[in-house]
Structure 1
Amino acid sequence: MLRFSYTAFNPAGRQQKGQIDALDIADARRRLRADGLSVSELKAVRFGSEKPDAASAIRFGRAFNKTRFFADLSVLMNAGLGVDQALRAMQGAASRAGDRQTIGTIIERLSSGATPSVALSSLNGLPEDALALISSGEHSARLPHVMKIVAADLEKRDAQRKQLIDASVYPLFLLVMMFFAIGVVTFVLVPTLEPIFESSGRTPPFIVALLSSLRGALADPATLFAIFASIIFVATFAILRPSSVQAAFAVVLLKLPFLGRAISQSALARYLQSLSLLLDNAVPLPDALALSARCCPAISFREKLLSMRDVVISGKRLPEAFTASGLFPRGVVSLVAIGDEVNKLPTVLDNAAGVLRSDAQRLTDLLLALMTPAITIFLGILIGGLVVSVMTALLGINELSIQ
């Protein structure tokens, strides 16, 4: 949830000022209109040092362990401490200056009148569904319990991320070794073989000629400048991440065979898991649908997922909204329909997320398993082809010298 300050006029024509918590500026405007107010000015509220410089934001975002933070916060709050008391205790116990400063920023925002969900939004990279859960805990007086759920969810995400990284280490190592081997052959072996063919007047084998051309191109300053400029360009886009580039890149990835399907199922699993957590903690269905859509990693899916909220608001059931989106498999839609009938949506959505996540993990494991032999075969063909072609040419030169 975000906080907005507003200036509006009530039905009697009197000016009224205040603040309101909402999902976004459109939601804030809608809530004010529902209260019979005519909005003349509406803007987001900023607390304390809301605008840190980019370098510090990146540094603290990387150094601060959000999973450990919420685990400690949930333990202290479930022991009976208030949010501010727990945060001050954690600030005093923090060993790193960066952690103390990050927690201090949250305490400062709380002291300025922000709710816990708004104050904790200063943490870089904290999912929106986690903030929505915290907001639901504020309204339902279950904040300590919700903090425990958020900590468990962040720990689960870290475990999934670690599992993917562990599975990718060996294929990535083979990729690095492949490029290293190609570099050794190109810059060490090929220059040794070239004089032999030049002195005999024989045409070098195709692979030798190809790698020789590659070495010449890489030795050209213009080529090196182009490569360096490309790296800077890609790195700049990776840091700034313009929305248009992100959307285009996401669309390309989703169209790739196998990989696109794995990404799609993983993104939809994240959406279903977020929706399950929010509904299980008394967040209204329209708000839960909007927040879960913004948490979906696949940017190209978000517009369709957000439209599901409008379908539900129009009076249709959730399974109909799932069907209208065209994103979910029939099995998932059937599960949602059953969960809606028996009033067990959170449990069913969590199970459906598990099914999609398992399918995505299976596809990912298959791709990673195929990557290892594919790299090995490619490298073997390259080196073997180079050896065979060079030896054939050398034998031909030897026959000519004997004649």
Structure 2
Amino acid sequence: MTDLRAYFAERTDEMVDLLRRLVELESPSTDKAAADRISRYVADRAREAGAEVTFVPQEQYGDHLLARWGGDGNGFLLLCHLDTVWPVGTLKERPWRVEGDRAFGPGCYDDKASAVVILTALRGLRELGLRPSRPVTVLFNTDEEVGSRSSRPLIEAEAARAAVVFCVEPARPDGSLKVWRKGTGRYVITALGRAAHAGADHEKGINAIEELAHQVLRLQGMTDYERGTTVNVGWMQGGTRTNIVPEQAQIRVDLRVRTQAEAVRMDETIKGLRPVLPGARLMIEGGPSRPPMEEGPVTLEPFRRAREIGAELGITLTAGGSGGASDGNFTAALGVPTLDGLGPVGDGAHSVDEYVLIPSLPERAALLAALLTRW
């Protein structure tokens, strides 16, 4: 039996170099031209690994990329996003660097190192003459960091034809895979009051900011850590001048829940908010955006199989979860077996301290190669 760990360990330098190239191809979700550049670069690497490549054109976001090995039915679906939260130019402020066994750079951990793992694993299998046990489809999307707005239908369509989904998102900092993730909701709440002169006619005004102050306290009070529910008012804007009673104010709200039942309950609760001030009005827009990936057979059965295969390689896998959502939320909600967190180990996603542990790159490539051939 091929020693996959040794094989990929010998390619650590190649993996680090590929990661550097991907990090230096800055690719914020909101910059189509930049996202298209990295999508085409990854397409070339996938072709070198033997894939048939198809682009799914987009107007607003980068073109999504489908890479297939050996057909497209009843097989493995791998999910990986190429977009980041960092604008073009961030690299000048925080250039790529390696310190000891850590690689740093915007987007390195979330999620470009995962693309390196996928490309290296599939190229390695080809060089070793090993075939995956099922057809493999990899969907590299370019809008995950903004909610997979354009790629969700594609993700769900591909998942419906798959036997199992591997969501190659970063592992937890301790290396755990993810058998649950919270679902998300996004809301925009606008308060409408009445403008008036803040001095001469103060009593005639209805202060929209004051109304939202009441609503912010209500919303923040809905957080329930025992249920795993959090509500965060993360943005607020209102008014025009200090000498005018503000007629309009707005907040944006983030919701996280562990179960679909809780998502329904919280959606009804938030949409049921009523004004406090006489004469004020509320407009509530939005709702659930990603369903929860609930811990259950859909996630635990693939984890059990992965743990068995990992043990054959001498890799001990543990299970965990995350308050952050991924595209695996969509596939698990469809009832398709989903294994998440197969990317490399690191920490600091969306932070200036983001890094990847370099030794985890070949280890995760070996694990993915084993999953694809022994599942």
Q: TM-score range by the shorter chain?
A: under 0.3
Please give the TM-score of this superposition, normalised by the length of structure 2.
0.28
Q: Which has the higher strand share?
A: 2
User: More relative contact order in 1 or in 2 (CA 8 Å, sep 6+)?
Assistant: 2
Larger Rg: 1
Please give the TM-score of this superposition, normalised by the length of structure 1.
0.26
Q: Which has the higher helix share?
A: 1
